[in-house]
Amino acid sequence: MRPIVEVVNLAVAFPDSTRGWRRVVDGVTVALEEGEAMGVVGESGCGKTLTVLALLRLIPEPGRIVGGSVRIGGEDVLAAEERRLCWVRGAMVGLIFQEPAQALNPVRSVASQVVEAARLHGEVSVSQAHALARRLLAEVGLEDPDRIARSYPHQLSGGQRQRVLLASALAADPRVLVADEPTSALDTVSQQRMVELLQRLRESRRLSLLFVSHDLSLVGRIVDRITVLYAGETVEVAGRETLLADPKHPYTRALLETRVAIGDGPDARFPTVPGRVPRSRDWGRGCRFAPRCPYALRQCREARPALTVLERGRTVRCFLLGDAEEPVA
Ligand SMILES: Nc1ncnc2c1ncn2[C@@H]1O[C@H](COP(=O)(O)OP(=O)(O)O)[C@@H](O)[C@H]1O
Ligand SMILES: [Mg+2]
């Protein structure tokens, strides 16, 4: 069976100062199987959010998708006409973002916003939509949903606002939930509760989940497999246990080592790796991680490795690992 979400070799570009186009994502490949939870990790600036936006053809102007393919539920998203795109955005995929404050309208009550989401994607009457909104607010664990429904966003905590957004995202009963840094604006306790809620919803609604975060230890708590992005491309994909116990790509290893060094107690900081993610204008012709890689050889600075299948269920983009294997993208 084909994956329910399938991104192959995605490229996204923005105009640069020379009136040309500069690719800021180039080589992202992610597959989400029906019913599974896939984590997408990488430091800030690696292309996680643009990948999420590309899934629904929501790249902000003047950006453009300039390469690769996106299939969701069998639909070719990049070629889809408006009506099919609405179907993908509603019935197939629910989306939540990091900043619930920005995604909610400050001058409208919670009820009207969830009701609108419910009506946008389904043929329901106003009273049915109100009943559905109330059910959704209760389902995402908001106590006293009637009071929450009458509230305005500024009267709620960050954790409550994120749940309201989640309720809206579930209004059309999507098969896939895409969560882009859903807990990054929350305190540790709300963060933990949100992770538990997503787990619960995943089971009760049989959702497929794409969980995007810079925080590998957080992702590791909830997903079945992990895709690691670096500088606009996929560098490693593996099952959660395999990846955490035996990371192959030097970048994944560095991410994990820093995580261990920092610890995962309440004061755990972002995993950071010495050096920083290069801006796209500084991508050379070689491996994009080579300038930070302790193992880089001359070859790594001269050519870009392909994403290759290392073993079943594991792909890696690295000359040191993927010698004779079959390229996937
Ligand atoms: N609106 C934009 N215009 C130009 N470049 C952008 C824009 N949005 C993102 N980028 C570029 O794309 C890169 C990836 O961004 P993003 O997907 O937001 O990363 P992440 O979510 O992993 O932090 C950024 O480092 C930035 O250089
Ligand atoms: Mg982001």
Instruction: Match 């936006």 to its residue by tokens.
Output: 53
In this structure, how many other beta carbons lie within 10 angstroms of the beta carbon of residue 215?
21
Cα 229 to averaged position of ligand 2 atoms, centre (Å): 12
Does residue 24 line the site of ligand 1, with CB under 6 A? yes
Q: For position 125, what pLDDT does the model report?
A: 87
Cα 125 to averaged position of ligand 2 atoms, centre (Å): 36
Q: For position 118, what pLDDT does the model report?
A: 80
Pocket test for ligand 1, best of 7, 16, 24 (most atoms within 8 A of CB): 24
CA distance readout (Å), 225 to 71, 105, 209, 219, 288? 19, 35, 11, 9, 23
Distance CA 259, CA 262 (A): 5
Distance CA 92, CA 111 (A): 23
* Shortest-distance Cα residue to atom 10 of ligand 1: 24
CB distance 135 to 114 below 8 Å? no
What class, spelled out in words, does domain 5-101+176-316 have in CATH?
Answer: alpha beta
Region of 231 on the Ramachandran plot (φ > 0 left; ψ -120 to 50 alpha; else beta) = left
Does residue 44 line the site of ligand 1, with CB under 6 A? yes
Q: For position 262, what pLDDT does the model report?
A: 45
Ligand 1 atom index nearest CA of 53: 17
Does residue 14 line the site of ligand 1, with CB under 6 A? yes
**Nearest ligand (C-alpha, residue 40):** 1
Query: How many contiguous H segments (helices) and E segments (strands) does the chain have?
Result: 12, 12
Does residue 235 line the site of ligand 1, with CB under 6 A? no
Does residue 289 line the site of ligand 1, with CB under 6 A? no
Cα 36 to averaged position of ligand 2 atoms, centre (Å): 22
For the chain, the straight-line distance linking the first and the last C-alpha, in angstroms and rounded, comes to: 19
Does residue 48 line the site of ligand 1, with CB under 6 A? yes
Instruction: Match 């290069």 to its residue by tokens.
Output: 278
CB distance 177 to 46 below 8 Å? no
Phi, psi of 203 (to 5 degrees): -75, -45
Q: For position 272, what pLDDT does the model report?
A: 57
Q: Map residue 276 onto helix, strand or coil.
A: coil
In this structure, how many other beta carbons lie within 10 angstroms of the beta carbon of residue 146?
12
Partners of residue 177 on adjacent β-strands: 94, 209
Q: 272-277 long-range CB contacts below 8 Å, 24 or more apart?
A: 272/43, 273/43, 276/43, 277/43, 277/44, 277/45, 277/46, 277/230, 277/231
* Shortest-distance Cα residue to atom 9 of ligand 1: 50
Per-residue pLDDT for the chain (329 aa), expressed as one digit of tens each? 789 999 999 999 999 988 899 999 999 999 999 999 999 999 999 999 999 999 999 999 999 999 999 999 999 999 999 999 999 998 899 999 887 667 889 999 999 999 888 887 777 888 988 899 999 999 999 999 999 999 999 999 989 999 999 999 999 899 999 999 999 888 889 899 999 999 999 999 999 999 999 999 899 999 999 999 999 999 999 999 999 999 999 999 998 887 654 444 444 444 456 788 999 999 999 999 999 998 999 999 999 999 999 988 899 999 998 654 455 55
The separation between CA 203 and the C-alpha centre of its own chain, rounded to angstroms, equals 19
Residues in the chain: 329
* Shortest-distance Cα residue to atom 4 of ligand 1: 14
Q: For position 135, what pLDDT does the model report?
A: 94
Ligand 1 atom index nearest CA of 181: 21
Residue of 133, 165, 155 lying closest to 146 (CA atoms): 133
**Nearest ligand (C-alpha, residue 12):** 1
Pocket test for ligand 1, best of 46, 219, 230, 283 (most atoms within 8 A of CB): 46
Does residue 278 line the site of ligand 1, with CB under 6 A? no
The separation between CA 62 and the C-alpha centre of its own chain, rounded to angstroms, equals 22
Residue of 61, 49, 63, 46 lying closest to 280 (CA atoms): 46
Name the residue ranges covered by the structural domains of the chain.
5-101+176-316
CB distance 277 to 45 below 8 Å? yes
As residues whose CB is below 5 A from the ion ligand 2, the structure lists 48-49
Instruction: Match 């993908």 to its residue by tokens.
Output: 88
Does residue 45 line the site of ligand 1, with CB under 6 A? yes
Does residue 13 line the site of ligand 1, with CB under 6 A? no
